[in-house]
Amino acid sequence: MSTQEEPVMEGLKAELRRESRRLRLDFNELKSGGFIKQTQKDLFTVRLRCPGGQVTADKLHLAADIAQRFGRGEVHLSVRQSVEIPYVHYQHFDAITEELKTVNWSVASCGPRVRVPTACAGCTYNPNGLVDTQSMCREVDRRYFGIPTGHHKFKISFSGCPIDCFRSREMDLGFQGVVEPKLVEELCTGCELCVKNCEDEALRMEGSLPVRDLDKCIWCGDCVKICPVDAMVVDRRGWLARVGGKHGKHPLFAYEVANFLSDDQAFSLIEATLGWYRSQGRGRERIGATIARLGLEQYIQEVIHPLGGEAIESPQERRRYWAEGNLYGLRGGEATRKI
């Protein structure tokens, strides 16, 4: 259920339109909202808006209650962190929408729109987290949720660190936390713990001090976390941005396009990217296909450069993120097949 949308067929559309007039529902809201047609006649799955997968106990109680009264007493947890209530008859949409309002809740979006953003726990309670993914996710949801793209769906996700549990690589736009370490030489005891802990082999000892290889570092911050005397410290913190990923029949891995963005730069990047996609996209293609068609350079030129952030321009700079033998390596900016 979670990755299939827009199954509203013509006959059903007319029926819904009539029904929505009778129930005084906004038909457009119905279409854009998270009411997803099931195989069973007249039954829908109601997808609830859960940015970052965070749901208060109040909301959870209400979802359970709605599932019991209007569904079959069960919910489904979607791969994009939504609570979904299956087996709901469309006649109950109105009542459900009203009840959701009492806890300041609503249904999620479907169709060619900005979807509810997803996020891991980030630094709020995950020890690996480098940035506050949850706050960012809530804000992005507040600002951009449901905006029509004119072409296809648009998914945004946030991961707190390079482990990337929230698969920023598979999103139309993905953001991942990064930190830049800096050595305070006077404090360093030369214990080599940081060197041992750097899984990317970006650190080596030169004399009694660790030295970082800037071509290998992926900004995970492990060296900062391990240093017993706080000689390795955070110099700066921000977001690595990826664009053009998707799953589906022909999945694409996103390209890293900018690094160390501030929250504000990330918002600007989202806005600029949506604008670019709206004007450059064709038909029902995802932004990954638009980029494959026009070339990544054009996207970077038109979207990243004007932002003034730190652009990631070459495949060499991206290499550090790829595993050997990954299909990433096959992509020089051109898709080899229809997307």
104: which residues sit within 8 A by CB, 6+ positions away?
none
Residue from 93, 219, 277, 321 binding ligand SF4 (CB under 6 A): 219
- Closer of 126 and 268 to ligand SF4 (Cβ): 126
Buried b (16+ CB within 10 A) or exposed e, 28-63: ebbbbbbbbbeeeeebbbbbbbbbbbebeeebeebb
> Which of ligand SF4, another protein, none does residue 220 bind to, with CB < 5 to 8 Å depending on kind?
ligand SF4
Q: Does 128 bind ligand SF4 (CB under 6 A)?
A: yes
Separation of alpha carbons 37 and 19, rounded Å:
15
Helix (H, G, I), strand (E, B) or coil at 275: helix
Is residue 88 classed as helix, strand or coil in its secondary structure?
Answer: strand
Is residue 103 within 8 Å of residue 59, measured between CB atoms?
A: yes
Q: How far is the CB of 308 from ligand SF4 (least distance, A)?
A: 24
Question: Which of 237, 252, 72, 63 shows the shortest CA–CA distance to 169?
Answer: 252
Give which of another protein, ligand SF4, none residue 225 binds (C-beta under 5 to 8 Å, depending on kind): another protein
> Which lies closer to ligand SF4 via its Cβ, residue 32 or residue 78?
78
Q: Is 217 in the site for ligand SF4 (CB under 6 A)?
A: yes
| Residue with nearest beta carbon to ligand SF4 | 160
Binding mask 208-237 for another protein (x = CB under 8 A): --------------x--xx-xx--------
Q: What count of residues does the chain have?
A: 339
Among 7, 190, 248, 329, binds ligand SF4 (CB under 6 A): 190
Q: Whole-number minimum distance, CB 130 to another protein, in Å?
A: 14
140: number of Cβ within 10 Å: 25
Q: Return the SS3 of 162.
A: coil
Distance CA 154, CA 169 (A): 13
Map residues 173-212 to x or -, x wherever contact with another protein holds by CB under 8 A: ----------------x-xxx--xx---------------
Nearer to another protein, 82 or 128 (CB): 128
Of the candidate spans 57-65, 94-102, 218-226, 249-257, the one that interacts with ligand SF4 by CB under 6 A turns out to be 218-226
Instruction: Name residues whose C-beta falls within 8 Å of residue 49's C-beta, 6 or more positions apart in sequence.
Output: 34, 82, 105, 106, 107, 108, 109, 116, 141, 145
Distance separating alpha carbons of residues 20 and 99, to the nearest angstrom: 17
Question: 155: Cβ–Cβ under 8 A, 6 or more apart, which residues?
Answer: 80, 115, 117, 118, 171, 172, 173, 246
Residues between 155 and 174 with contacts to ligand SF4, criterion CB under 6 A: 159-161, 163-165
Task: Choose between 25 and 178: whose C-beta lies nearer to ligand SF4.
Answer: 178
Please list, residue by residue across 127-139, b when 16 or more beta carbons sit within 10 angstroms of its beta carbon and e when fewer do.
ebbbbbbbbbbbb
Residues 91-110 touching ligand SF4, rule: CB under 6 A, are: none
Q: How far is the CB of 126 from another protein (least distance, A)?
A: 12
Span of 141-149, 190-198, 288-296, 330-338 interacting with ligand SF4 by CB under 6 A: 190-198
Q: x/- string (CB under 8 A) for another protein, residues 115-154? A: ------------x---------------------------
Sign of the alpha-carbon torsion through 332, 247, 261, 146:
positive
Query: Residue 327 corresponds to which tokens in the numbers above?
Result: 């299909």
The site for another protein (CB under 8 A) is made up of: 127, 189, 191-193, 196-197, 222, 225-226, 228-229
The site for ligand SF4 (CB under 6 A) is made up of: 120-122, 126, 128-129, 159-161, 163-165, 181, 183, 188-194, 198, 200, 202-203, 210, 212, 217-223, 226-227, 229, 231-232
